[in-house]
Amino acid sequence: MAQGNGLPAISTSNPMSIWEQQMVKIRSLGANDSEICKRILSVVALARQPLNLNELAVLADLPSISETDPSKFIDECSYCLALQNDGTFWFAQQEVKEYLLDEAFSEIFPKGLKAQHHVLFSRSLQAMAVGLERDIYNLREPGCLIDDVKIPIPDPLKPLRYACLHWVEHLILSECEEQDLKQDGAIDMFLQRDYLHWIEALSLLRKMSDGVFWMLNLEKLVTVSHLREFFAELS
């Protein structure tokens, strides 16, 4: 049986598991679409929490909506992913993640888990560098109470929430590369240009304690002198 798009439908009578059939379906797509679907599955498999479509677009580097509707790629992965009540995407069943990390590992993570964690770290840092800015909610009242803050529509932090909360965690899990920590490297430049913007975002997200926790963990990771000086100034 084929679906309306000409692709094979998932069959409950097929001896292959539904997850194996999903991968067959993804492989039958064009090369570019197939690669994008695999990126989506690799991101969700390593994400620390369910992701909204905006976050998924950032982390999986999905095409912009002006090029193509990113939700079409979610639809192609519909037997692996499920839409939650809060509008986020997660695995339809725990067995999906187990399948991706075991039987489909070499296809979904061709360079290994650490390399994929580094990709998530890098995309998070890039997204924050582009998206964060001073007074991102245009409050114009730096001393206002958090309970008085009105979230704008659209919310500029919606695609950046995951990145703000988990970039350090993915860096640690990737066993970061030397180039990340060098002077004028990715972390150095982010802390120089966007540290205060990040702190503001964490405050607006009501996640300052998370930021403190991960900055302490980042400090333990840092051995180069210029970043040590940065942390010393924060103390």
**Six token digits for residue 42:** 């690799």
Q: Give long-range contacts, CB 8 A cutoff, 24+ apart: 189-194.
A: 189/129, 190/125, 190/128, 190/129, 191/227, 191/230, 193/129, 194/128, 194/129, 194/132
pLDDT value of residue 225: 58
β-pair type (88-91, 81-83): antiparallel
pTM: 0.85
Instruction: Walk along the chain (235 residues) and give the pLDDT tens digit of each residue.
Output: 334 444 445 555 444 678 788 888 888 888 899 999 999 999 999 999 999 999 999 999 988 765 677 788 888 888 888 888 888 999 888 888 888 899 889 999 999 999 999 999 999 999 999 999 999 999 887 678 888 888 999 999 999 999 999 999 999 899 776 778 777 778 888 888 999 999 999 999 999 999 888 888 887 777 655 667 776 766 6
- Pick from 46, 32, 37: which is nearest to 80 by CA? 37
Name the residue ranges covered by the structural domains of the chain.
18-108, 113-234
| Fold that domain 18-108 belongs to in CATH | Arc Repressor Mutant, subunit A (1.10.10)
> H or E stretch including 90?
strand 88-91
pLDDT value of residue 1: 35
pLDDT value of residue 182: 76
